[in-house]
């Protein structure tokens, strides 16, 4: 069972998750933490520098989010460990983020169907007291079944894909779209649990 830990000799009071995603909150709880988890959504600028490779972009965005939350918390960040995460979908070397609208979601799914793509989640953990940080990434290869336009349109009409990178949720109604994956399932949902546990351990946070 996880115990209340310490970071740099200072007792930890809380874990701060820099995300409003209910999926990420549920996945963090799978680590069996005894420390309370506080939700503080980031409002960081998520514009990716054009010279940044997709694999690096996910880690960069995760650190931007965690650092933004630490800055906004100010003195309240003392005694906390802050988690940032960002998930991107990469196809043919190009990043597919969240769709702008339903038409964009249909376009994304039309490109993904019948092909393999990569889902990359960058994770950042920041010491709220000192700013010390660690980042890492998890990469999962997803093989999607062929989908016709009518099936894609029906899925998009549910509204589910509009807040998801790549315009689909493997844990939701799009579960049947996926033929197989190579890598971490939780990474595709939005947070690689095992990797996060390893990073938290470097900051004195014990997990199950």
Catalytic machinery residues: 86
Longest Cα separation, the chain = 58
Strands 6-7 and 10-11 turn out to be: antiparallel
Distances (CA, A) of 26 to 52, 54, 95, 98: 30, 26, 26, 20
Which pair of structure tokens corresponds to residue 130?
A: 């000192």
DSSP code at position 85: E
Sign of CA dihedral 144, 46, 73, 82: positive
């Amino acid at each position: 069972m996880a115990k209340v830990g310490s970071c740099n000799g200072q007792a930890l009071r809380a874990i701060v998750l820099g995300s409003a995603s209910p999926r990420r909150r549920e996945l963090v709880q799978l680590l069996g933490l005894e420390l309370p988890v506080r939700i503080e959504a980031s409002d960081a600028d998520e514009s990716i520098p054009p010279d940044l490779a997709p694999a690096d972009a996910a880690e960069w965005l995760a650190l931007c989010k965690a650092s933004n939350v630490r800055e906004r918390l100010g003195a309240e960040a003392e005694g906390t460990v802050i988690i940032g995460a960002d998930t991107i979908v990469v196809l043919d070397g190009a990043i597919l983020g969240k769709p702008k609208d339903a038409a964009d979601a249909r376009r994304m799914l039309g490109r993904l169907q019948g092909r393999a793509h990569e889902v990359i989640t960058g994770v950042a953990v920041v010491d709220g007291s000192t700013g010390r940080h660690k980042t890492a990434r998890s990469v999962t290869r997803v093989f999607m079944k062929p989908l016709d336009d009518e099936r894609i349109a029906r899925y998009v009409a549910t509204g589910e894909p509009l807040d998801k990178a790549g315009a689909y949720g493997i844990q939701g109604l799009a579960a049947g779209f996926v033929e197989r994956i190579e890598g971490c399932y939780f990474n595709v949902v939005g947070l690689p649990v095992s990797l996060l546990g390893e990073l938290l351990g470097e900051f004195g946070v014990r997990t199950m």
